[in-house]
A = this chain, B = another copy of it.
Amino acid sequence: MPIGDISGVDAPLPTRVRTEPIQQRSADRLNRLLDSAAEIVDEIGFDRLTTAMIAERAGAAIGTVYRYFPDRIAVLVALRERAVQRFRLRSMQLMRAAGPTSVWDAVDSGITAFVELYRSEPGFRIMHFIDRERMPLSAEEAEPHLAKRLADILEEAIGITHDAELDFRLEIAVEMADAILSRAFAFDRAGDERYIEECRRVVRDYLSSELAAV
C-alpha cells in the first residue's frame, strides 16, 4: 500500500453529519457551507459565528445548514475534521519528500505542515480551540485526538510500530506543539517565527531524549 493512502482524504468525512450527501450537488453544498464557516471564523471568531451567517454566505437557507449538522457546534467540529484531514495529507506529502528516518524528522514535517496550513487554510485556528470541552467531553476513546492521527501517519511513513509508550510521548509532544504554535499565531496572522523555532527545538529535544533515533 502506497504511503499516501492512509491520509484519509476519501474517508467517511464528518462523524456528526445528520445525512450523508448522496447526490453530487449536496456534497458541493456541504463543502461550501464549511468554506463559509471557515471564512467567518477567521473574520469574526467562532463564538460570534451564527448559523444564519453560514447559510447566507453559502447561498443557502438556514434549514439546509440543519439538514447536515445537528447544531452550531457540529459545524465547527466538522470544520476541524476537514482541517485535520488536510493536515494529514500535507504531512504525508512533506514526509515523503523528506524521507524521514527518525520520529523527530517526521514530527518536524508535521510542524511544518501545521504552520503552512495555519497560514493558508481559512479557519485553521479551529484546530486549537474546538478540542476539549466542546467535543464529546467524556470517554477517552470518543475523541480521535490529533496525536493518534499523527501516530498512524508515523507508522505508515517510517514503519514504526507504535506502542503505548510512543503514543504517550507523541501525545505530550502534540500538546506542547499545539500550545506553542497556537501562541505563535495568537497575535500574529503570519505566525511569530520565534515561537515556531522554539516549538521545533522543544519538541526535538523532548522526542530525542530517552528515545534516541528509532
CB <8 Å contact, B138 and A129: no
**Residues of A155-214 contacting chain B, CB below 8 A:** 168, 171-172, 175-176, 178-180, 182-183, 186-187, 194-195, 198, 202, 205-206, 209
A residues 100-146 with Cβ under 8 Å of B? 125, 129, 132-134, 137-140
A45 interface contact, C-beta 8 A? yes
Structural contact, A172 and B198, CB atoms closer than 8 A: yes
Is A47 a contact of B134 with CB atoms below 8 Å?
Answer: yes
Are B180 and A175 in contact, with the CB atoms below 8 A?
Answer: yes
In the complex this chain forms, how many copies of it are found?
2
Q: Would you call B129 and A187 a contact (CB within 8 A)?
A: no
A202-B176 CB under 8 A given contacts A46-B133, A133-B129: yes
Q: Which of B133, B138, B140, B194 contacts A47 (CB 8 A)?
A: B133
Q: Tell me whether A180 and B187 are in contact (CB under 8 A).
A: no
- When the two chains form their complex, are residues A205 and B209 in contact, meaning their CB atoms are under 8 A apart? yes
Residues of A with Cβ closer than 8 Å to B? Answer: 45-47, 73, 125, 129, 132-134, 137-140, 168, 171-172, 175-176, 178-180, 182-183, 186-187, 194-195, 198, 202, 205-206, 209
